[in-house]
A and B are shown apart, each in its own frame.
Chain A
Amino acid sequence: MSVQLIAENLCFYYTDEDGNRLSGDVLKNISLKIEKGSFVAILGHNGSGKSTLARLFNGILVPISGKVLVNGIDTSDDDNIYEVRRHVGMVFQNPDNQIVAAIVEDDVAFGPENLGISPKEIRVRVDNALRAVDMYDYRLHAPSQLSGGQKQKVAIAGIIAMRPDCIILDEPTAMLDPKGRNDVINTIHMLHREYGLTVVLITHYMDEAAEAERVIVMDNGEIIMDDTPEKVFTKPEVLQAVGLDVPQSTELLWKLNMSGIPVPINAINEEDCVDTVINLFT
């Protein structure tokens, strides 16, 4: 499997235009590899540095020291920046503030237009992207007529119409209602499955992270855990110490354990949890 994103000894803090330091260390010596085609969730509370990391991965920010490589291309090289962004698409938290055009299909066309693709090809890509996120029927709607979840799907279509091989989503569901959240998360999984997109999902919802292939937990600018969801979520004490939730299934097993009942903390979903508890009595 080839490598999509590499961070090498990444350090970052915010500076003003003259290079004077404006913040403490936001990222502290982070090294990380993300494989092509994988589904990675980055979990952390606000201010843990997770959003900053995302912005470094597509060159909106450049590292103070260390390196970020996207498909082997260094993001700090200004000449490569559009190549980097073509490979790594980004979806943000507020769906309203990333839609440029007043008609859905025109907005989806915005990215491909910037890439200088032929009008015919753009049309094909726009239609395909809208079908992929199940928003084709809304192609002539104004964004203000759509729900939050629908707007976020339009934003996702706008990215996939650029045919990136990686998509980074920075808390895409934080402002959505449960239905919109579900809808967007399902769409992301579908894109990963059907199109083999590399997905980096930044979130503070543990249930969204639990469905990823790999979970990276960040706190205070550092990576404190990097493992499969099963391994990460079965360490509730670590997660709670950094202000994160665990699934209620894990919490139940953990608290039973603490009450002196010898039950393994091995479940991160309902079914497994039920099985574990039943085993206790048989």
Chain B
Amino acid sequence: MIILRAEELTYQYSTGTPFEKTAIDHVNLEIEEGAFVGVIGSTGSGKSTLMQHFNGLLKPSSGHIYLNGQDIWADKNKLRDVRFRVGLVFQYPEYQLFEENVYRDIAFGPSNMGLNDAEIKLRVYEAAAFTGLTEEQLFQSPFALSGGQKRRAAIAGVMAMKPEVLILDEPTAGLDPMGREEILAEIKKYHQKTGCTVMLVSHSMEDVSRYTDKLLVMDKGKIFCYADTNEVFKCADELARIGLAVPEITRICNSLRKKGIPLDESIYTVDEAVRQIVHYYKSKSGGDV
């Protein structure tokens, strides 16, 4: 089933001035319900702008956005409802924390939805569990947390709205490798447990390749490609042309293949590379390893 659909979506800003720019250019796209989609593209490719259209924060200059088949701009009064159904976590979301404690901050979204206290409590604890926040941390001031914990509290604030689609714009920006790994693992867990559609915007090919099943590649306001993750990495050269580097391991495997080692065209994790090289090594040496 298709949960989100963009139809001939175009977004221009500063229209009619010399600074006019088309950020999104006639985009057609269908996102399947329950998918884990990586969104990648260089700065200015329009990926963040597109995401802000999906929850109605930006209004298309022309074209339509459909959520479960309903045009989200058909009834302006229901727009707020769309924002609860398509949760958007901005880049550096910790800059939006404002409440006196983490619990109340996470509860901000759910209480805006008009839920009762019992339901809010349930959701706050559930979201805290997804993001690995402890009970003790829930009643601390958000400003007393470490950088990584603040980021988690902010993500939990959107998860607690139980959106049908969760969009995260660069959730790991500025974190160290351990922090990155932890947050990505938590998002993966959230996706597996809830079955919700998740869209992960990232600059890092390594990150999106390891976690997502589909990849949306944007370039200059257009969709460069939208396909299964392993398919996308087959076109390493084209990606390089639009300024996107495939993971190092993909480049290594491509070089090895050119030198005669029979590896698949679409290797993008170290573990898969190891598996295939070991397999070939065994076959060559008669399986005595």
| Interface set of A (CB-CB < 8 Å, partner B) | 45-47, 93, 147, 174-175, 177-180, 204, 206, 243-245, 247-249, 251-252, 255-256, 259-261, 270, 273-274, 277-278, 280-281
Residues of B within 8 A of A248 (CB): 206, 247-249, 252, 270
Closest Cβ neighbor of A45 among chain B residues = B176
Tell me, rounded to whole Å, the shortest Cβ–Cβ distance linking B224 to chain A: 16
Interface 9-mer from B60-68, B73-81, B186-194, B276-284: B276-284
Q: A179 to B243, Cβ gap below 8 A?
A: yes
Extra inter-chain contacts (18) besides given A178-B245, A204-B176, A256-B274, CB under 8 Å: A45-B176, A45-B178, A46-B147, A46-B176, A174-B174, A175-B174, A177-B43, A179-B42, A204-B177, A206-B177, A244-B178, A245-B177, A248-B206, A248-B252, A248-B270, A249-B248, A261-B281, A277-B261
B133 at the interface (CB under 8 A from A): no
Check if B252 sits within 8 Å of A278, measured CB to CB. no
Which residues on B sit within 8 Å (CB–CB) of A174? 174
> Taking the complex as formed, is B173 at the interface, i.e. its CB lies under 8 A from any CB of chain A?
yes
| A274 touching B277 in the complex, CB below 8 Å, given contacts A243-B177, A261-B289 | no
| Inter-chain contact B248/A256, CB cutoff 8 Å | no
B129: CB under 8 A from chain A?
no
A-B contacts counted at CB < 8 A amount to: 90
Residue in B174, B261, B270, B280 whose CB lies within 8 Å of A252: B270
Closest to A47 in B: B146
- Residue of B42, B176, B277, B284 with most chain A CB atoms under a 10 A cut-off: B176
Q: Is the CB of A280 within 8 A of B42?
A: no
The answer to whether B148 and A256 touch across the interface, beta carbons within 8 angstroms, is: no
Write out the residue numbers on chain B whose beta carbons fall within 8 Å of the beta carbon of A46: 146-148, 175-176, 179
Tell me whether A243 and B178 are in contact (CB under 8 A).
yes
CB distance from A48 to the nearest CB of B (A): 9
Interfacial chain A residues near B178, Cβ < 8 Å = 45, 243-244
B251 at interface, CB cutoff 8 A: yes
B271 within 8 A of A: yes
Residues of A within 8 A of B273 (CB): 252
Nearest to B92 among chain A residues (CB) is A175
Contact residues of B between 242 and 280, Cβ < 8 Å to A: 243, 245, 247-249, 251-252, 255-256, 259, 261, 270-271, 273-274, 277-278, 280
With A248-B270, A277-B261 already in contact, the answer to whether A177 and B277 are too (CB < 8 A) is no
Q: Is the C-beta of B203 less than 8 angstroms from some C-beta in chain A?
A: yes
B17-36: contact bitstring with A at CB < 8 Å (1 yes, 0 no)? 00000000000000000000
**Contact in complex: A270, B255 (CB < 8 Å):** yes
Give complex CA distance A206, B248 in Å. 13
Q: Which residues of B contact A244 (CB under 8 A)?
A: 176-178
B196 to chain A, nearest CB (A): 28
Q: Which 3 A-B pairs have the closest CB atoms?
A: A243-B178, A248-B248, A204-B176
Chain B nearest CB from A248 CB (Å) reads: 4
Contact A261-B277, Cβ < 8 Å, known A46-B147, A147-B43: yes
Q: A residues within 8 A CB of B284?
A: 281
CA distance A180 to B256 in the complex (A): 30
- Tell me which residues across on chain A come within 8 A of B249, comparing CB atoms: 248, 251-252
A275 CB to nearest B CB, Å: 9
Could you tell me which residues of chain B, from 141 to 178, have a CB within 8 Å of some CB in chain A?
A: 146-148, 173-178
Q: List 24 A-B contacts (CB under 8 A).
A: A45-B178, A46-B146, A46-B148, A46-B176, A46-B179, A175-B174, A178-B203, A178-B245, A180-B43, A244-B177, A245-B177, A247-B248, A248-B206, A248-B248, A251-B249, A252-B274, A256-B274, A259-B278, A261-B281, A261-B289, A270-B252, A280-B281, A281-B261, A281-B281
Knowing A174-B174, A179-B42 are in contact, say whether A260-B252 is a contact too (CB < 8 A). no
Instruction: Return A120 CB to nearest CB of chain B, in Å.
Output: 37
Docked Cα-Cα span, A147 to B43, in Å, equals 9
* A274 to B147 Cα, complex, angstroms: 38
Give bound CA distance, A62 to B36, whole Å.
49
Query: How many angstroms between the C-alpha atoms of A132 and B112 in the bound complex?
Result: 52
